Structure 1
């Protein structure tokens, strides 16, 4: 279904309710540059390093796009788990996993208080940015604790740039991207207002430092386009 959520004046801050869940896949594909390609990159990489019956946990799994991509590329059986606090998202995720014949365990949970299952890989795509900074660092530390030795944490985030001139220019580049996807200036401004103080982005360096302080041995940037980046943090 096509995203028309912000064609009308907003009445509340952004949340992942039924209206967003019903158009989430279209919204993500049209709002995040190279969204599908990035998920494919993540899935292919995980499938290249994971072994039979290894566990993958997706925190903030939304409609299960990442886990379904892992299912698509997996050459051996994997244990796939998705957690999200939005019931509407999980309902659509369940429908999609059934349609694709994927064995994915989905559960409603607040990931900031969740006892994260032990896993070889944990993913959080465009999730941390919606968590308040004090809880964000604690969650990343919990992720590190839940990973097995040598395990990986892959997370994607919207980012800001330290240089104000570059930051302003990159915002304009991104706005042009959204216009090219068919969003009107009214829709763009409505969504920006709805996300104010809901989505709180870090700089690329701040994201890396957060992971290192949480206990990860190394952090690499896997993918970057403008003000979006994907990282891989590895546990010692």
Structure 2
């Protein structure tokens, strides 16, 4: 279903309710530059280290598109699990997993309080940016502690830049990108208003420092388009 959530006046701040869940896959593909390519890149990175029984945990797994794609490409049986705090998203995810006969565990959970234990790979695609900054910092510490010694954390985020002029230019470029994907000026403005003080991005440096402060020793960026970046952090 095509995303038309913001083609009418907004009545509330952005949330992952049924209206968003019903169009979420389309929203991601059209709103996040190179989203499909980034998903494939992360999957390829995981497959390069695939091993029987290896645990892959997806935070903010939404409709399970990422996990289903990973499931369809893995050569050995890994343990795939998705966490989400939106029942509407999980309902969609469960329907899709059943339709594809995919053995993927899904759980309604708050990632801030979830008990992370002996995780091998944790993925969070455009998820951390919706968590309040102080809680985000504490979450990364929990993730680090919950990963195995050779564990890996892969996350994608929208970022801001310290150079305010450059930041404004890149935002304008991003809005032109969205127009090219079929969104109107009105829809772009409506979503921007709905996301104000809901989506709070860090700079690239702040994301890297947050991981270092949590204990991660090796942090790299593996993809960037304007203000969208994918990071890999290893213990």
Partners of 1:57 and 1:117 within 8 A in 2: no
**Matched residues, number:** 235
Partners of 1:50 and 1:120 within 8 A in 2: no
Deviating above 2 A after TM superposition, structure 1's stretches of 4 or more consecutive aligned residues are none
2:216 corresponds to: 216
Partners of 1:58 and 1:122 within 8 A in 2: yes
Does the residue aligned with 1:219 lie in a helix, a strand or coil?
A: strand
2:18 corresponds to: 18
Distance 1:72 1:176 in 2: 34
Does the residue aligned with 2:72 lie in a helix, a strand or coil?
A: helix
TM-score (norm 1): 0.98
Distance 1:138 1:54 in 2: 25
Deviations 1:170-212 (A, max 9, x none): 0111000000000000000000000000000001111011011
CA separation of 1:138/1:121 partners in 2, compared to 1, >3 Å: closer, same or farther?
same
Distance 2:69 2:155 in 1: 15
2:141 corresponds to: 141
2:233 corresponds to: 233
Distance 1:13 1:225 in 2: 26
5+ residue gaps, structure 1 = none
5+ residue gaps, structure 2 = none
Distance 1:189 1:73 in 2: 38
User: 1:95: Cα distance to partner?
Assistant: 1.1
TM-score (norm 2): 0.98
Partners of 1:54 and 1:79 within 8 A in 2: yes
